[in-house]
Amino acid sequence: MKLLLISNSTNAGEPYLQYPMPRIDAFLGAVREVVFVPYAAVTFSYDEYEAKVRARFAEAGIEVRSVHRAKDPRRMIREAQAICIGGGNTFALTRKMQEQGLMKAILTKIKAGTPYMGWSAGSNVCCPTICTTNDMPIVEPESFKAIGAVKFQINPHYLDANPEGHAGETREQRILEYIQANPRRYVVGLREGCMLRYEEGKLELIGNRPMRIFKKGIEPYEVQAGDDLSFLL
């Protein structure tokens, strides 16, 4: 498998997709065409999403084709040189992917070695389930099951902060609830500006911030870029 799982598309104060594009370009290598899944878009159209991503990828000489334009989305996935899923609402994305049978089709391609990359919701759906998304369930998918290319769960945009005056649960408390209910599953808190790359059987953290590891029975702890992450595999 070849995966690039990105926490967020855009760092605060930066242009869209600025920080991950060099990594995306290097990850794709000689591949210069990507099939894009825009179904996480809710408050703007799929056409607008495609155009936004296409403009940024074009700067690196990468062509973007969106599945929402295809008469047969599964066929487009089967023929893809690489697959990219953008962020937005994970529940909207999951429902549409399930309706079109894209979860299984994408997993088959990933297992065959087709490069896959996603950010935010696009990273969530690479996991076994979407249960560690931060999003509101604005629509009801068929199930919470996702692509399942990796064995662990990702919480993108992971935050440590507990804002002053906020009496609700922190992000960590929510994840601790998840691992209590799902004791066999690891969850990784992937902070903004960071990503996970899986290639040639090796998983690595990329970025200047540590990643937080959660598992029932283990005190949450941090790993840094360069640390051995083979336990997640």
Active site members: 120, 135, 157
Residue 102 and residue 11: Cα distance in Å, rounded? Answer: 29
Q: How many CB atoms lie within 10 A of CB 32?
A: 14
Do the Cβ atoms of 7 and 157 come closer than 8 Å?
Answer: yes
Q: Return the SS3 of 33.
A: strand
**Would you say the C-alpha torsion 60, 120, 224, 112 has a positive or negative sign?**
negative
Q: How many CB atoms lie within 10 A of CB 132?
A: 26
Do the Cβ atoms of 35 and 219 come closer than 8 Å?
Answer: no
Q: What angle do CA 90, 91, 97 make, to 5 degrees?
A: 85
Do the Cβ atoms of 144 and 129 come closer than 8 Å?
Answer: yes
* HSE value, Cβ hemisphere, 13 Å, CA-based, for 8: 18
* Torsion on CA atoms 215, 207, 94, 183, rounded to nearest 10: 0
In total, the chain counts a number of residues equal to 233
Query: For the chain, first and last CA: distance in Å?
Result: 12
